[in-house]
Amino acid sequence: MGQLESFNPATGELVGTVETIKPEDVQGVVDDVAEVQPFWGQLSLADRARYLRRAADVLVEEVDEVAELLTREQGKPITESYTMEVVPTIDVLRWCASAGQKILADEQVRMGQALFLTKQAKFTYQPMGVVGVIAPWNYPWSIPFDEVAMALMAGNGVVLKPASLTPLLGERIRETFEKAGLPEGLVRVVHGGGAIGSALCESSARKIFFTGSVEVGRKVGELCARQLKGSVLELGGKDPQIVCADADLANAISGCVWGGFANAGQTCSGIERTYVVKEVADRFLDGVARRAAELSVGDPMEWETEIGPMASDDQYGVVTDLVDDALGAGAERVAGGPREVPGFSGKFIAPTVLAGVEDEMRIMKEEIFGPVVPIVVVDSEEEALRRANDSNFGLGASVWTKDRAKGERMARRIESGMVWINDHSYTHAACQCSWGGVKESGLGRSHSKFGFYECVDIKLVSWEPGVTRDFWWQPYDRTLGQAVRASARLLYGRNGQRLKALREGGLPLLRVGARTLRKDR
C-alpha cells in the first residue's frame, strides 16, 4: 500500500490523498466485486432503475460539493463543473433508469420465413459480470460516471481506475452509488499508475472502457485482445470545424470560442482546427480573435472565470511546444498565449488563435489538448471537407451552415463518429446519443443503446413447440433433396419458376411433410 496525493492545479495546494494498491492485488479486487455482482445482476431492470434514480437524488443534494471538488482537483472553472460535468450526470442517471428498462428488456425476433413458422426467438441482454473503467483526467467526473452508470444498469459490477491527477473524484463516484443504497463492494476504485490499469486489463474483468491517448489505448486494446475480451476505446481527437459562406457568422464565432476554449481546450472533442471559406474568413477570424481576448483567465472558483489553469505542468508544456513550433514555421498568433495570474502558481494559457497555419505543421496533425484554435482559410467547402478528412483522427466534427440539407450532405462525407451541424460536442451530455470515433479516435461506442450493448452479453433464446420434427433432419435422400429444391423455387422464385416447382416437386414436398409428423424418423 502507498499513497497518491492530489493537488489543486491552480494553487498547488494538496487537496487530499488516497491509498494505492499493487498490480498483483487488482485481480483480488475484481474477484471481490464478482462475488457481489450476482445478487445485483438478478434484480429486475425496474429495481436497478430505482437505485439509479436514488443516485440521481443523492447528486441533486450534493451537486455543490461535487462541483467544488471537481474545480479544486481538475482546475476547470466552477461554472463548467456544473454545466459540463455534474448536472449532466444527473440526467444520465435518469435516462439510464428510464431508457435502460426498454433497451435491455427481452426483444422478440420476428421469424417471418415460411420454414420457421412454428418457431419463436428473442434476444436477451445478460450482465457480463465485472466491467473495468479506466478514466481520464480532463473530464474525470462525467466520463467515468456515465460508463459506471450504464454498466450498473446492465447488471454488472464495476472496478474504476481514476486518473492519477484526479483520484478523489473517483472515490466520490463510488460514494455516490453507495449512498444510493447499491450493495457495498459492487463499485470498487483502484488507484495507482499505468501498471494498475494494465493489471485491470489483464484481470478477469469482462470488458474495459478506456478513455485516453492513442498510444495507451492501443496497449489497452492489445491486452484485452490477448484475454479474448472486448474494449471500448475513446481516444484522441482533432475535431474540425467547417464554416460555410452561408453560416450564421455570429453563431459560428461563438461556437468556435466555446468549442475551442471550454475546459481550457482540454477536451477530446474540442475544436482543434477550423476551416473557413474565404468569403467570410476575415470577419470570422476577427470575431474569434476579439471574443477570445475577452474571455477571463483566472481563479477557477470564481463564477466569472472562463479559462482556468492547465491540469498539469506536463500538459502546459505540450501545448506551448506545439504553438512555438507553429510560430517558428510561419504561423501568426493573433490572440492569447501563456499568462501569469497573480496569486496563483498554476500554469495558465489565455485563449490562443493562430492564423497562417499549414497542414504540414505539427499543430495541425497532433492533438493540442489546450486552448488553441488554428484557423485555415479555404477556397471552397469541397476543399474544407478534403482537409478535414486528412487526419488520423475521427472523433467529432461540426459544419456551420443555414442550409440543413447541405449540412447533412457534408456530414455524411466527414470521416468521424459524430457530426454536429451549427453546434459542437454538446451531445456527450445527452446520453441517448452515441459517443465514439473512427480511425485512431477509437473503437466501440459509449452512451445510447449501443453503449448498453457494450455492457452485456447478447444471447439468442429460441423456442419450438415440438409438435413436428424439422423437415431437414435425417434421413437424407433424393426425396428430401427434391423437396428442398422445390421449396427454394416456390418461396423465392418468379411466377413461372413457382408453377414449375409445384408440378415437379409437389409429391416430394408432400412426402417430406408427412415425415415431419413422425418423430422417430
Question: How many CB atoms sit inside 10 A of residue 179's CB?
Answer: 15
- Following DSSP, what letter does each residue of 362-385 receive, concatenated? GGGTS---SSEEEEEEES-HHHHH
What CA–CA distance (Å, rounded) separates 146 from 85?
10
pLDDT value for 517 = 86
DSSP alpha helix (H) spans, 75-213:
78-80, 87-103, 142-153, 167-179, 194-202
pLDDT value for 105 = 98
pLDDT value for 488 = 87
Put residue 75 in one of left, alpha, beta given phi > 0 → left and psi -120 to 50 → alpha.
left
pLDDT value for 521 = 62
Question: How many CB atoms sit inside 10 A of residue 512's CB?
Answer: 21
Residue 14 grid coordinates: 494538496
Domains assigned to the chain: 2-6+23-235+449-459 (3.40.605.10), 239-429 (3.40.309.10), 478-515 (no CATH)
Answer whether 176's CB lies under 8 Å from 100's CB.
no
- In tens digits, what is the pLDDT along the chain, a chain of 521 residues? 799 999 999 999 999 999 999 999 999 999 999 999 999 999 999 999 999 999 999 999 999 999 999 999 999 999 999 999 999 999 999 999 999 999 999 999 999 888 888 999 999 999 999 999 999 999 999 999 999 999 999 999 999 999 999 999 999 999 999 999 999 999 999 999 999 999 999 999 999 999 999 999 999 999 999 999 999 999 999 999 999 999 999 999 999 999 999 999 999 999 999 999 999 999 999 999 999 999 999 999 999 999 999 999 999 999 999 999 999 999 999 999 999 999 999 999 999 999 999 999 999 999 999 999 999 999 999 999 999 999 999 999 999 999 999 999 999 999 999 999 999 999 999 999 999 999 999 999 999 999 999 999 999 999 999 888 898 999 999 999 999 988 888 888 887 788 888 888 889 888 888 888 887 76
Cα 482 from chain centre:
53
Label residues 452-481 b or e (16+ Cβ within 10 Å = b): bbbbbeeeeeeeeeeeebeeeeeeeeebbe
> Which long-range CB contacts under 8 A does 24-30 form with residues at least 24 apart?
24/199, 26/159, 26/190, 26/196, 26/199, 26/200, 26/203, 27/199, 27/203, 27/204, 29/159, 29/188, 29/190, 30/130, 30/132, 30/159, 30/200, 30/203, 30/204, 30/205
HSE toward the beta carbon, residue 423, CA cutoff 13 A: 7
In angstroms, the Cα distances linking 131 to 21, 33, 88, 486 are 19, 10, 22, 50
Those residues with Cβ within 8 angstroms of residue 358's Cβ, 6 or more apart along the chain or in another chain: 329, 330, 331, 364
What CA–CA distance (Å, rounded) separates 278 from 274?
12
Answer whether 285's CB lies under 8 Å from 353's CB.
yes
Please state the pTM of the whole predicted model.
Answer: 0.95
